[in-house]
Every structure is written in C-alpha cells, then in structure tokens.
Amino acid sequence: MSGLLYLIPAALFLGLLGLGAFLWSLRSGQFEDLDGAAERILFDEDDTPPDDKPA
Amino acid sequence: MSIAASAETASARAETAFQPGIDFAAYVRSGAGDENALNLIVEGLKCGGCVRSIERALANQPDVTAARVNLTTGRLALSWKGARARATTLAEVVENLGFRVMPYEPSRLTSQDALEQRELLRCLAVAGFAAANVMLLSVAVWAGHVEGMGPATRGLMHWFSALIALPAIAYAGRPFFRSAWSALKARRTNMDVPISLGVLLASGMSLVETMTGGAHAYFDSAITLLFFLLVGRYLDGRARGKARAAAERLLTLDAQSVTVLRADGSRAVLPPEQVNVGMIALVAPGERVSVDGTVISGDSQVDTALITGESLPRPVAAEDRVFAGTMNLVGALRIRVEAVGEATLLAEIVRLMGLAEQRRARYVSLADRLSRVYAPVVHLLALGAFLAWWLVVGIAWQPALLIAVAVLIITCPCALGLAVPAVQVIASGRLMRRGVLLKSATALERLAKIDTVVFDKTGTLTLGRPELRATEVPPGALAVAAGLAASSRHPLSQALLRAAPGATPLEGVAEVPGKGLALSTEGGEMRLGSRSWCGIAESESEAEAELWLTRPNAQPVRFAFDDPPRGDARQVIETLRGSGLRLELISGDRAASVAALADAVGISEWRAAASPAEKVARLETLAAEGWRVLMVGDGLNDAPALAAASVSLSPSTAVDIVQTAADAVFQGDELRPVVEILSVAKRSEVLVRQNFALALGYNAIAIPLALLGMVTPLLAAVAMSSSSLAVIGNSLRLSRGGRGGRA
C-alpha cells in the first residue's frame, strides 16, 4: 500500500499538467474561433498563428 | 461552398460596399513603434474560403503585419506599420472582395455574456480535472468496501479526495453560488438554490466524515454534479453565441458619423453625439441619413424601406422631411438637423419595440416553471426525512442529517439541468446548418405551441425587390431601356438591368431625380421614366410600379413591375395549412397588390394598408382571442408587431433592428426555413418532455431509496451519471436525419 504514497501524487501531478495546458490554451486564444480552426486545416499555404493575445 | 456562389454574393454586395461616412481612421489603435491596429466586423463570411481570400489579400499588402479573421464571430483583427489613414484603403481591400466591413471598438463589444462564457469554460476545466481524479480515488474506495480496505488507507483516500475536491468546488461552484445567493437575497428561489445547498452540504458532511474516519464520503458526487451542470450551462450559452454576435452589430449602426457644414463653409465629420439641432448636415448619394431633419436644398430620392416598408423610393426636395435610417439614393442633400440620436423617429420605433418585447419577456420557460415547483419540494423532502428519522424513528441527529443530505444529493437537478440545453444545442446546430439562426432561448418552446402564422408581404412572402413583369415587351425596347437604366441606382432601373443582363450601357445619360433618365440622340431625345416625364396622359387605372420608354419615331413602351412571391411561397403556405395552422397576411401595401399576392400564394385572410400600430393592434386582438401567433416580417414597420407576437421570425435581408427583435432569423431566397424551424421546434418539444420524464423518473426511483437511508456514494454516482447520459443520448436523436429533415 505504500506505493500509493507516491502513485497518487504522481497521478495528480499529471492531471494538473493537463489542466494547466488547457488553461494556457484558453488564455492564448485557441478557443476563440473553433469554426475557423476547423476550416484552416484545409488551407494549402502555411498559416501563421496570431502572436498577440485576443483583445 | 462553391466559388460560383461566393462570386454571386460578391457582386450582390458590391453595390452596398460603397459606404461614405465611416471614418475608419478614428477606430485605429496605435501600438508599439509605428504599428497600428484596427478591428473590423466583416459581413458575409461564410466559410474557410472567405477567410483565406481576405487574409491572403491583406497579407499581399507589403505594410500589413498581421491579419486574422475569426470565422465564429465574423471579426477581423488587422495590424500594419505606417500611417493611421491607411485604415480606409485597407478596409477597401476587403470591400473589394465583396464583403461589407464596419469598424468597432473591441472594448465596446466584449460583452458580459462573452466574459461569463469564458469563466464557465475555466470552471468546467477545473471541475472536469477534479471530478476525474476524485472519481479515480473513489473507485478505489468502493472496491475497498468489497475487498476489505483498511480504515487507514480509506482515510488517506478520503483526505486526498478532500484536498482535490474542496478547492475545486470553491472555484467551479461560484457561478451557482452567486446565482443562488442573489435569488435568496431577493427572497426568491431558483434551480441554483438546491444545487448550491446540495453541493455545500455534501462537501461539508463528507469533510466531517473524513475527519471522524467515517466510511462514506460524497466528494465525488458533489464535484461530478458540478461538472455535469457546468456542461449544461456552457452549452446553453454557446448555442446563442452566434446570434449574440449578430445583435452586437446593431451597436455599430449608431456609431455612423455625420458630415456637417460649419458656419465658415468648412466640412467636418462628427460622431452623432456631437451633432446639435440646427446644424446643417450633408448627405451624399448612397449614404444613409443618420439624423431627422428638413431638406434645405437638393433633389433626390430616398429609400424609406427601413421606416415605412415601401419598396419604391420617395422623391424629396426642399422643405420635405427626411428621417434617420433612410437611404439617400440619387442626389446630394443638405438637411437642417431637427433631431439626433435618441430623439429620432428611428429611436422612437426602437423604443416601441423594446416596450412590446418587455411584455413578451414575461414568458416563463418550462424549465423555470418546473424549478419553481421542484426546489421547494426537494427542500421539504430533505427536511422531512431529517425530522422523521431523528424524531420519529429516533436515531441520533448525525445519521439523520446524513440521510437528509443524501436526499438532497440524489435529487440535485443534474439531468433536469441538462434536459433543455442539450436539446437546444442540437436543435440550433441543426437549424444553423440550414440557414436559421436561433436567438432566443425560449423560442423553440414558444414555436412548438403556435397555431397561427401572420405574414408580412413585401420582403417576406416576396423577395422585396421589383422584377419586370413578363409581358409582350418588344425585345429591342428592353435592350435600349436597360442601356439607359445602367447608369441609375433606382430599384426599377436595377430591375430592368436584371431582366436584360447583356445590355450595353449607353453613354451620356442624364438623371433627373424623381422623374427619370434622358439621352440626346441624333434623331431626338430618348426618355425613360415616370408617366409624366415621358409625356404620357395620366390614366385612372390603379397605380402600380411602371416605367415608360419614349424614343424618337417609335411608340412609347410601358414596362410594368411587380414584386414576385418567393419561389416556394405557395408550397410553403400549403404545407403550413396542411399542418392545421391558421394563416393571415398583413401588409402596409395597397389593397390591390395585397389581394393579388394573397391569391397567388393561397392565403384567404388578408389585411392591407395597415400601419405599424394597426399591425400591433391586430396581433393583440389575436392574442386576446387566445391564438398563439408566429409573426414573420422584415420591415422596421413590422418590428413592433414582431415584438408583440408570441414568437417572431425574420429573413436575414431584414434590417438589423428587426433581426434583433425577431426570435430567429432565416437566410436565403426561400421561405422553406419557416417550415423547417416549426418541425424542429415540435420535435424538440417532444424530446424535452421525454428528457424531463427521464429525469423525474430517475428521481422517483432514487428518492425512496434515499429516504430509506439506502443510498451509498457509489449508488449516487451511478444513478446521477446514468440519468445524465440518458438525457444526453435522448437529445442526440434530434441530430439524426429522419422525419424532421424534410419539410
């Protein structure tokens, strides 16, 4: 059972990593235009993402 | 979308693209160095192809540093290095592609709703993370009950759960706690009150259990409940996101600037709030009048469709009154300003509409009515369980409280909270793919109940633009007339051009506002225009839209126009009548043309020459007689009537204010979306009722168990998740093709 002592924190750490990644992507505007994102993958030329944060 | 279709919309928009009076440079924000940024609303965005063509055209400009189109909201963020004045030419680049653009200030449009939506998404993420991890630990505990887990290990699991769940509940529960608190302060109760109470009691009790080394903790129930409810809330808001963006466009309309003539003869472009009564405003041809006033000089025609719904322009000259919202078509006008902003007739109509809308806002959605009954019943049940076990059965108050909390948790309206949003999201997604934008949350519910449909004529049953009547016009005459008409923006001239697309434009044509066109040729003068302009004797016959062409040495030729019904109007009317709806036509137009149209599409009950107030009165009479009316209309004169009807629909060609008043907006040249939206509404209503039945049915089984004190955390989790999944699964049936797909 002592394995739990490091397995649970490890699981939590990984989960937090995912949560952090989601909050980062939300903040950097990646959820601003879901319809557009679905279409952009079809563009032939390279698409440069916006460098500034959404207003 | 095909390229041909986008080219077609592009040419249709090219006419309206010319918009003097908008000062783009005023909206430019200066950034670091010489970089400037501008935000634009782009109208007419349909697909990725539009996005690409705009971004590519702007990227080809050497000084543009970034151009990004947001397809969801229809906005363009643009930045470039160089002068602020470049804004206008860059906007032109987009307009030349066939899109109409309007500047906006991001701070003005970052609405409260959008901020709330982002907060919900953050809460959803936190709740999702916590729910997954707590559930992981809970599964171990449940397994431990069977396998004989030691109390020390179970305690450890509970402590970890508390560590994750309590901060997450404090963070992710805020939207519910806030709403519940404000309801309680106002001495009301809403669905959020039992939710908040259940979540808080469950976590408090579980914490006590954990500290005392008890066997059961409900952290997983509390956080999973929040997660499911947040999903419902988020979907609910997202469904109306697009419609909200459309309504926001209205805000930019009143930002239109006014060109005024100063006393010293200089011109200045002022925002409307700086224009005073008595000033002299200049209105160029093609520009929208943005004040009320009297014409001082100038001869022109104004398109008053926005105010009166008339499809033909009205000639104006000195001493005539013009109103904000009308479009100046032909000649430049000087106007003495008599009313600005809130005092204009336009603002008055908008206010009227607001009043009618407030009356309708009293409609209480089914979910709200249910929650009014549900919340008190749940609270009484929990209280009753506590008192019964404590006083009647005679156990200690702590386990009695446990049972009461279990009742609250098990009855938490999780599936109920999802019942309506899940159906709405799928219904509005389905309608959106067919060109119908659903704006109001309760529109579907109200649509499902209607038994009467009232149509407006111009622009609703018809396309709202005159077309040349197919009569025996000599073909040569049509070509000549179209050649003359090519230089005019008058709607009848445009109709002639549409009828003879290949005509070569004639040079040297002079336009006399309100009368017609003239061209001097070797043989004499050719004229195209009104009866009197062409020197034809007045006749007593019913006035209708017509043009005359006179040529030297030729018989005068008459071109008659009418506004044809939408291609599928008759069919749609038949379908609607077939489904047992009462149909009516109300128009501000003359009796003869209304009768003709009513006959053509097959509506027997019609009223003509109705003013906006009469339309409202008619709708109120119908409502008083107990009919539930769907109003379909497009003109500003219909707007108060739209707001007065129990539910309303308008085509996307309607003016912005009308689209704001309507519950739903449909696109395209067909009337069929009216049938589509009604059938989707009916199906949605059925599904919502089934969802409620599922949710309540689950409660009917779970509540007795909870009252008997037999609900364990495992049972609560299973029951809650399965009822939510059942509700979502049932709602998904709407997205499958099937019966609702065909009109």
Look at A39 and B48 and tell me if their CB atoms are within 8 Å: yes
Report the distance separating Cα B453 and Cα B446, nearest Å. Answer: 13
pLDDT in tens, B385-412: 889 988 888 888 878 888 888 888 777 7
Look at A4 and B164 and tell me if their CB atoms are within 8 Å: no
Closest-CA distance of chain B to residue A10, Å:
11
B79 in Cβ contact with B31 (< 8 Å): yes
Q: Please determine, for residue B183, whether its predicted confidence score (pLDDT) is greater than 90.
A: no
What pLDDT does residue B129 have? Answer: 92
The nearest alpha carbon in chain B to A51 belongs to B66
Which site among A5, A6, A7, A12 would you substitute to test the B interface, given the most B Cβ atoms closer than 10 Å to its Cβ? Answer: A12
What pLDDT does residue B168 have? Answer: 95
Q: Which of B102-111, B241-250, B286-295, B391-400 has the lowest mean pLDDT?
A: B241-250
For residue B544, give the nearest of B559, B528, B556, B522 by alpha carbon. Answer: B559
If you count them, how many residues does chain A have? Answer: 55
What pLDDT does residue B113 have? Answer: 67
1-55 in A: which are within 8 Å (CB) of B? Answer: 1, 4, 8, 11-12, 15-16, 18-19, 22-23, 26, 31-36, 38-40, 42-43, 45, 50-52, 55
List Cβ neighbours of B83 (8 Å cut-off, separation of 6 or more): B36
Closest-CA distance of chain B to residue A34, Å:
7
Which site among A39, A44, A53 would you substitute to test the B interface, given the most B Cβ atoms closer than 10 Å to its Cβ? Answer: A39
For residue B694, give the nearest of B666, B715, B724 by alpha carbon. Answer: B724
pLDDT in tens, A7-48: 888 888 998 999 999 999 988 888 877 778 888 888 877 666
Residue ranges of E strands in B676-725: none
Q: ipTM of this complex > 0.85?
A: no
pTM metric for this prediction: 0.66
Look at B51 and A42 and tell me if their CB atoms are within 8 Å: no
Six token digits for residue B608? 């003509």
Kindly tell me the sign of the dihedral angle through the C-alpha atoms of B635, B637, B640, B646.
negative
Chain A neighbors of B164, CB-CB under 8 A: 12
What pLDDT does residue B543 have? Answer: 54
**Report for B364-368, B426-430, B622-626: range of highest mean pLDDT:** B622-626
Chain B neighbors of A51, CB-CB under 8 A: 66
Give kind and range of the element (H or E) at residue B608: none
Chain A neighbors of B153, CB-CB under 8 A: 1, 4
pLDDT in tens, B285-301: 767 787 888 888 888 87
Chain A neighbors of B122, CB-CB under 8 A: 23, 26
Catalytic, B456? Answer yes
Q: Which of B184-188, B407-411, B722-726 has the lowest mean pLDDT?
A: B407-411
Six token digits for residue B280? 């002299």
Chain A neighbors of B6, CB-CB under 8 A: none
Chain B neighbors of A45, CB-CB under 8 A: 56
Mean pLDDT of the B232-246 span: 64
Report the distance separating Cα B259 and Cα B266, nearest Å. Answer: 10
B517 in Cβ contact with B509 (< 8 Å): yes
pLDDT in tens, B40-94: 878 777 777 888 888 888 888 888 888 888 887 778 888 888 887 788 888 888 8
Residue ranges of E strands in B59-185: 64-70, 75-81, 100-103
The nearest alpha carbon in chain A to B150 belongs to A1
Work out the percent of chain B whose per-residue pLDDT is above 70: 83
Catalytic residue among B23, B192, B236, B456: B456
Closest-CA distance of chain A to residue B731, Å:
22
